[in-house]
Amino acid sequence: MTAIQRFRELHQQDEPLLIGNVWNVQSARAYEKLGYQAVATSSSAVAFSLGYEDGENMSFDEYLYIVERILKSITIPLSVDLEGGYGKTVGEIVSNISRLVEAGVVGINIEDSIIIDGTRKLLGTQDFYEKLNAVILKLKERDIDVFINVRIDPFLLGVEDPIEETINRMKIIEEVGADGIFVPCITEEKDIENVIETSKLPFSVMCMPGLPDFKTLKRLGVKRISSGNFLNGYIYGQLETALKAIGEAGSFSPIF
């Protein structure tokens, strides 16, 4: 069994896959040490660690360097948050995915929204279909096997009737042959239940205020749970608290 096949199996097990979101070697090693089955990059956390804003502002080569360092430092599977693909054409996106797979990455996230002049917007349904379908067809032509988890953003962007829009986009994802569906910012039990009822693919959610606990998510049929950039933000918030305490104490005693 290949690593990618094993990663696919992790999305079919009874317990949801609690996937650790990482931004460097240290964070990835922490998850592995605690027995996590797999990790995935948070593109925003990696970007912030390199001094960029989120939204494909870092170069793909910079991103790939971080990915390669993580891969060389852990033994559990790594998936990569590829945002919109880090390329303007299907060829560029497929080339990027190919380089990730060659490095040892088992999965990617690719999303249906793009940032234009600092504002995130959904791709039109037809544009989204054409882009995703073309990418998957090219990967198949080149015999590149990778778990494709597609992020759809109606809830994140607060569009009108996000359930209907999500379900319409889920149908596209299933039609083109992707492996999973990821809906960030969906938190209400009834909403999760409604969309999962129509989903044929493993369904992923992300840490948000108000997200049900893991036991409830399992009951609802969720197969993958991620934390996004929230733990990165939490950790650096704790760092600021510690630095403030050191300054107020006039010594390093608060951290010992």
In a domain, 172, yes or no: yes
Q: Does residue 89 lie within any of the structural domains?
A: yes
**Partners of 109 in beta bridges:** 81, 149
Look at residue 90 and tell me if it is in a domain. Answer: yes
Which residues face 40 on adjacent strands?
A: 21, 79
Residue 43 identity (one-letter amino acid)? S
Residue 55 C-beta-side C-alpha neighbours within 13 Å: 10
Domain encompassing residue 155? 3-229
> What is the 8-class DSSP label of residue 160?
S
Residues 126-144: tens digit of each pLDDT: 999 999 999 999 999 999 9
Asked, for residue 24, whether it belongs to a domain, the answer is: yes
236 occurs within a structural domain: no
- Residue whose pair of structure tokens reads 């492996």 in the numeric block: 179
Query: With contact defined as beta carbons under 8 Å apart, do 132 and 172 qualify?
Result: yes
The answer to whether 196 touches 27, Cβ cutoff 8 Å, is no
The pair of three-digit structure tokens given for residue 140, joined into one six-digit string: 């198949």
Query: Which element (helix H / strand E) includes 204?
Result: strand 203-206
User: Would 245 be classed as within a structural domain?
Assistant: no
Q: Which residues contact 15 (CB under 8 A, 6 or more apart)?
A: 218
The pLDDT tens digits for 100-119 are 999 999 999 999 998 877 78
Task: Copy the structure tokens of residue 235.
Answer: 């950790």
Query: Which residues are within 8 A (CB) of 82 and not within 5 positions of it... i.e. 6 or more apart?
Result: 43, 93, 96, 97, 100, 108, 109, 110
What is the average pLDDT across 160-175?
95
18 occurs within a structural domain: yes
pLDDT band per the 50, 70, 90 thresholds, residue 1:
confident
Number of domains observed in the structure of the chain? 1
In-domain check, residue 244: no
Other beta carbons within 10 angstroms of residue 156's beta carbon come to: 19
Length of the chain in terms of residues written? 256
Q: Is residue 28 pLDDT above 90, yes or no?
A: yes
Structure confidence at residue 118 (pLDDT): 78
For residues 44 and 234, what is the distance between their CA atoms, to the nearest angstrom? 14
Do residues 122 and 161 make contact, with C-beta atoms less than 8 angstroms apart? no
Cβ atoms 91, 131 nearer than 8 A: no
Read off the pLDDT of each residue in 21-28 and give the average, rounded to a whole number: 98
The domain that holds 161 is classified in CATH as 3.20.20.60
